[in-house]
Amino acid sequence: MVVDFQIARSPGYRVAAVRWKGPWSDARIHRQFLSVLAWARREGLRTGAWVFREPAERTWEVAIEVRGKARSEGTIRIRTYPASEVARVVFDPDVVSPRVIHHGLADWLR
């Protein structure tokens, strides 16, 4: 399995996102993505790109692009990410742990 890191220009996204503070947890990140996806399906929204961010130290955010009319609900917030330069990683999570990708990406960006 090849892990591909690249710098790319990302379009703006309208996303449904969940943010929390705390230590790194692969399991929690996975659960949060699944909860956002389940919410989007219940709302009948089409989904697109999946985004993981660390907007502040030990603050994590998972987001899934949504298309259609959506409103924030509970812990899920509708946000707009502007077009920007991003680090993009392509990998198979069944082969490579997201924790390894996070640390590898942080080192690669340094």
Q: How confident is the model over 17-29, as a mean pLDDT?
A: 92
Distance separating alpha carbons of residues 100 and 105, to the nearest angstrom: 8
pLDDT tens-digit readout, 28-76: 998 999 999 999 999 999 999 999 888 888 999 999 999 999 999 999 9
Residue 34 is which amino acid?
L
Residue 76 is which amino acid?
I
- Number of domains the chain contains: 1
* CATH code, 41: 3.20.80.10
Where is average pLDDT lowest: 11-20, 38-47, 98-107?
Answer: 98-107
Query: What 3-state class would DSSP assign to 82?
Result: coil
Which domain, by its residues, includes 68?
Answer: 4-109
